[in-house]
């Protein structure tokens, strides 16, 4: 798992990133375009076990030429870190051993609420909102990082 500044230095200018919204059972996935401007919801992985999750993520990484992975870190609203934050860190550490070292954490506070609200604005019905919530949350997380990178002219 890398600090954001080191992560940025290791990523090629023209490359895709993957955003992950970690959950106990449902893992949302989003990918960026190669210019790192737009994040797009990709899929939701139903986690049966860690090996299956790694295989699914590896497949997406290979099929989409992913250079780095951004994992949402669910920090509490007061800035403290709870069990979900520790679980996200553990996932990042494990994936950095099993898939790529180019992994960083990104503050995901309010990503689920933001994704749900965006679905409201787009007049998406409730059953579709819930079905796509995880991948939309991953998109929200990844887009936050992309906006940060582009605002700071990091590329």
pLDDT (tens digit per residue) in 65-114: 999 999 999 887 787 888 889 999 999 999 999 999 999 999 886 544 44
- Supply the range of the domain harboring residue 29: 4-151
Question: d(Cα 113, Cα 119) in Å, to the nearest integer?
Answer: 10
What pTM was estimated for this model as a whole? 0.86
Domain count, the chain: 1
pLDDT score, position 127? 54
Residue 36 — pLDDT band, cuts 50, 70, 90? very high
Report pLDDT for 116: 46
pLDDT at residue 128, rounded to an integer: 54
Q: What is the mean pLDDT of residues 127-155?
A: 80
> Hey, is 67 helix, strand or coil?
strand
pLDDT score recorded for residue 32: 98
Centroid of chain to Cα 136: 10
Residue linked to tokens 């899929």: 43
Q: Cα dist. 103→4, 65, 123, 132 in Å?
A: 9, 15, 34, 24
Q: How do 16-21 and 26-32 pair as beta strands? A: antiparallel
The CATH number of the domain holding residue 144 is: 3.30.420.140
What does the pLDDT read at residue 132? 79
d(CA 68, CA 48): 24
């Amino acid at each position: 798992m890398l600090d954001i500044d080191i992560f940025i230095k290791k990523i090629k200018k023209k490359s895709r990133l993957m955003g992950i919204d970690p959950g106990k059972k449902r893992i949302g996935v989003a990918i960026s375009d190669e210019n790192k401007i737009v994040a797009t919801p990709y899929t939701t992985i139903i986690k049966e076990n860690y090996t299956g999750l790694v295989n699914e993520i590896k497949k997406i990484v290979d099929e989409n030429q992913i250079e780095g992975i951004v994992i949402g870190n669910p920090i509490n609203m007061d800035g403290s870190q709870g069990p979900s934050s520790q679980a996200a860190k553990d996932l990042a550490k494990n994936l950095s051993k099993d898939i790529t070292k180019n992994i960083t954490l990104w503050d995901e506070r309010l990503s689920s609420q933001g994704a749900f609200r965006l679905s409201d604005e787009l007049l998406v019905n409730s059953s579709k909102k819930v079905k796509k919530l995880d991948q939309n949350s991953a998109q929200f997380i990844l887009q936050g990082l992309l906006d940060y990178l582009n605002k700071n002219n990091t590329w």
